[in-house]
Amino acid sequence: MTTTAVTLPPARYEFGADEFVFVEIDQAMSLEANFKAMAITSALREEGLDGIVDICPSNASYMIRVDPERLHPKELVAELQRLERSQSEVAADRTLRTRVVDVPVLYDDPWTRETVLRFRDRHQDPEATDLEYAARINGFSSVERLTEALSGAPFIVTMLGFVPGLPFSYQMVPRERQIEVPKYVRPRTDTPERSFGYGGAFAVVYPVRGAGGYQLFGIAPAPVFDAEQRLPDFASGVVFPRPGDILRYRAIDTAEYERLRSEVDAGTFRYRIREAEFRPAEFLSDPDGVNRDLLEVLYR
Amino acid sequence: MTELLVHTGGLSTTVQDAGRDGHYAIGMPPSGAMDQYSFRVGNLLVGNSEGAAALEATYIGPRLEFTDTRLVAVTGADTPVTLNGEPADTWRALPVGPGDVLSLSPVTGGARPYVAVSGGIAVPEYLGSRSTYTLTGGGGLDGRKLADGDRLPLGATEVPPASGRPVPEELRPGFPEVTEARTVVGLCSYRFTHGALKSFLGEPWKVTKDADRIGYRMSGWSLDFVPREQPHGAGSGPANVVDLGYPVGSIQVPGGDEPIVLLNDAVTGGGYATIGTVVSVDRDRMAQTKTGDQVSFVSVGLEDALEARRERGERLARVRELLTA
């Protein structure tokens, strides 16, 4: 097993007008870039600088919202450049406390299929479903082979955003095994709540009904956003996923989907969650071994 | 508790305040009044703190009945206003009592009128703000726009009812034929050809019918991307980038045509290339444009954006001085 070694370019600093600083670690996605974004944003959070409104780690970049009356965006950039130099590589001994979570998904479900068919005019391949298209361009012989690959290895949450609670997740497999699809040519104006989508190299669960540009592959019975905090997993906040969570999008059948939906409706559903120690450096040198261990911890 | 009775809610009227800050990292946009200047002046007129919750209407405002003695002021878009059927001034505090009915007619200039009431709209706070965010149904009145028959709770007020001075014309926003939106070019602007950047900043764009609190879709012409082999993870479309954070005010260009200016209720991140960001104070101007209006994006630097911010602060200080003089 080999992973693609990634050497990161110098970060690129940009002003999102007067209230935002956007920092691109790399134009390409890699776990190295994500780990670096996480490391710099954690270090910044610990500094507790006055004038920082939001710290948003993203996939291969990050963004800071600043109150320019309290902190000049240029001073912030100087500080971020200092942090960039001090977080130059993934430290071998860096350990993250994280959660490994079982996220059930009904692939190829009737609700997203209906939506997919409604928006064919915005798609690269109006003749196929999103699943058929994704299977074909990724060299899978069938839709089933594609969903097996999606369900087969866990994903790490590399960014939250778009709408509250949406987890951008990147599959923890070497680059040559990454599944990749384009976003819709023009975004859809409608997406069912809890749709399981895929765009670029990222899987997501849409928290609420609304617009979306990702290919639609299935639907999750359990929410990632709960405004009323009705479910026990949402006791401490309206969103469930956190950056650094490791999610396994497990394929389920219709019967299990229905059963889990009624648990959600009754307010009794709980995600299967296991705490784990995750060492990015160890993962980068042996992804399949680390994945095996993580899934063993999850289903033990 | 005293209430404001909503006879008619108007086209799309929501409770908004200064915004919900500090939750961007979970994907929660700030929401809040889109034209912060008009909103804040409205509050100053009725003696509220600048960030108190008020009503933001769109195109067609509400009809409201008061149940106690208050001050009310209408600012923002040009909109004929009546009090008990008689024409009344905008940009001025109006004393009202039980049974008085304030009615806003469709706007004649701009897009969004604000109605500030002394004591403020006292809906419960949601994550530190009373602003409505309709996408997930949080904040405001049950997370939605006002409907006919709603009753809005009002906060306690100490202000003696008196009709105040009007805000002079030069301290009100103008609604020019072409709205200038100063923009800091950058973010993923490297994805666009020189010609695309030139046409983006050259001629005005038209506001399409898809223009709301989430964002404004603009139409004009196509913008070409620099050809490249797409980086891993982005997706194969030329507008695709590895998903990243979107600043409020940033302009994304899916498919190369119809740039979308993201506003207060916008998505916080995504995977389409962004060409730049409208400076924060000019989001006030964007908010007062409507379908069919023209907007031209003017390239400015960070220091100009900060200067524009200082200028708005000074204008607000002048309003404050005038009203307390």
Same domain for B208 and B147: no
Residue A11 contacts B where some CB pair is shorter than 8 Å: no
| B189 found inside a domain | yes
Q: 207-226 in B: which are within 8 Å (CB) of A?
A: none
Last residue of a domain, one of B128, B146, B173: B173
Beta bridge partners of B109: B78
Residues B304 and B260 in one domain: yes
Domain with B71, as residue range(s), is 3-173
- Asked if residue B316 belongs to a domain, the reply is no
- Locate B76 and state its tokens: 């923002």
Do the domains at A12-89 and A97-298 have one common CATH topology?
A: no
Q: Is residue B319 part of a domain?
A: no
Fold classified for A97-298: Cyclophilin (2.40.100)
B9 and B143 together in one domain: yes
Chain B: give the shortest CA distance to residue A297, in Å: 27
How does pLDDT run across B198-240, given as a tens digit for each residue?
999 999 999 999 999 999 999 998 999 999 999 999 988 899 9
Window B:137-156, CB contacts with A under 8 Å: 137-138, 143
Question: Of the candidates B113, B140, B173, which is a domain's last residue?
Answer: B173
Note whether B274 and B127 are same-domain residues.
no
Find all residues with CB under 8 Å of A200, minimum gap 6, and list them.
Answer: A29, A180, A181, A182, A183, B233, B234, B235, B240, B242, B243, B271
Find residues 118-137 of chain B whose CB sits inside 8 Å of chain A. 127, 135-137
**What is the count of structural domains for chain B?**
2
CA distance B322 to chain A (A): 24
Same domain assignment for residues B88 and B225: no
Q: What is the rounded distance in angstroms from the CA atom of residue B208 to the CA atom of residue B260?
A: 10
The alpha-carbon gap from B191 to the nearest alpha carbon of chain A, in Å, equals: 11
Query: If you ran DSSP here, which 8-state letter would residue B50 be given?
Result: T
H helices present in chain B, as ranges: 36-45, 194-202, 282-287, 302-324
pLDDT per residue, tens digit, chain A (300 aa), is 444 567 889 999 999 999 999 999 999 999 999 999 999 999 999 999 999 999 999 999 999 999 999 999 999 999 999 999 987 666 667 888 999 999 999 999 999 999 999 999 999 999 999 999 999 999 999 999 999 999 999 999 999 999 999 999 999 999 999 999 999 988 898 999 999 999 999 999 999 999 899 999 999 999 999 999 999 999 999 999 999 999 999 999 999 999 999 999 999 999 999 999 999 889 989 999 999 999 999 998
Instruction: Report the residue from B23, B233, B248 with minimal CB separation from A19.
Output: B248
Is B232 within 8 Å of A63 when comparing Cβ atoms? no
Instruction: Kindly state whether residue B288 falls inside one of the protein's structural domains.
Output: yes
Is B195 touching A (CB cutoff 8 A)? no
Domain spans in chain A, listed from the N-terminal domain onward: 12-89, 97-298
Pair (B284, B135) in one structural domain: no
**Amino acid letter, residue A286:** D
The dihedrals phi and psi of A181, each to the nearest 5 degrees, come to -140, 155
Whether residue B323 lies inside any domain: the answer is no
Question: Over chain B, what is the mean pLDDT?
Answer: 95
Return the CATH number at B265. 2.40.100.10
CB contact A74 to B (< 8 Å): yes
What is the per-residue pLDDT for B164?
Answer: 78
Q: Which residue, of B145, B173, B201, is where some domain finishes?
A: B173
Q: Which residue of A has its CA nearest to B250?
A: A16
Give the distance from residue B47's alpha carbon to the nearest chain A alpha carbon, in angstroms. Answer: 25
Residue B161 is predicted with a pLDDT of: 53
B163 confidence band (pLDDT: 50, 70, 90): low
One domain for residues B158 and B207: no
Q: Are residues B279 and B236 in the same domain?
A: yes
**Matching CATH number, A12-89, of 3.40.50.300, 1.10.3720.10, 3.30.1360.40, 3.40.50.2300:** 3.30.1360.40
Q: Which residues of A touch B272 (CB under 8 A)?
A: 183, 213
Compare CB distances from B26 to A59, A164, A178 and report the shortest one's residue: A164
